[in-house]
Amino acid sequence: MVVGATSGIGRAVAEALADRGDEVGVTGRRTALLEALVQSLPSPSHGRAFDVCQADARAQLQALFDEMGGVDLVVVCAGTGFTNPTVDWSLDRDTLETNVVGFAAMCNVAWHHFVQRGGGHLVGISSVLAVRGMRSASYAASKAFVSHFLAGLRCRAVTDRHAITVTDIKPGFVRTAMAKADDAFWMASPEVAARQIVEAIEARRSHAYVTRRWRVIAWLLKAAPEWLIARL
């Protein structure tokens, strides 16, 4: 199951999973794009159009699980973000509602599904910016929530002895609609990002940077003084 699959990383991950022969469920806000994706996937596929922020989003996801007879893997890709130089509250609110509340809602459904099923694999798409507060304040903070939320669920799985793997994916720059420049530093294509994400899933890793060299940038961001971060 790929939540948020109509474009960018989510679409590329859905296509990569279908290419390896998986039966795939996909969700997204844009009905036409979702229907076109379902028709294009080479393996059996299912789709349901909804926004992770809408009131019945949890019920919609559960209904898709039921339609498929249960799922073993859920990748939550739905997310948004803005540079927001004027600190516009409407943009901050949209970011937090999608990346925090919507993300947690989807993970909650997946978690309870896996507990009842006896195991499964939950994957969340965070960001390299999760490691440090940045000028895109709400986006970086929301992705820090994603990473910490996934870490908490990973601890819960160990404590309660659930056979649930939880993977935190931290991409750097990926060429998507959210990216602000095609020639940004170390920009990867969605297909390259998806390939490395699927590799991390197959290896059942707890954390993965995409592409892998962004691990170095994450280390530098953590180590840098705040005055330097403010000038980047």
Q: Find the helix or strand (DSSP H, E) in which 25 lies.
A: strand 24-28
Give the tens place of pLDDT for each residue, 137-171: 999 999 999 999 999 999 999 999 999 999 999 99
β partners of residue 27: 3, 48
Residues 169-208: pLDDT tens digits? 999 989 876 655 555 667 899 999 999 999 999 999 999 9
Confidence tier at 134 by pLDDT (50, 70, 90): confident
Quick one: pLDDT at residue 177? 67
Residue 139 bears catalytic tag: yes
Find the catalytic residue in 50, 65, 103, 139. Answer: 139
Q: How is residue 19 written in tokens?
A: 């290419």
| pLDDT tens string 80-89 | 999 899 999 9
Burial of 156 (C-beta count, 10 Å sphere; 0-12/13-18/19+) = middle
Helix (H, G, I), strand (E, B) or coil at 76: strand
pTM metric for this prediction: 0.93
φ, ψ dihedrals at 29, nearest 5°: -80, -30
**Cα 147 off chain centre by:** 10
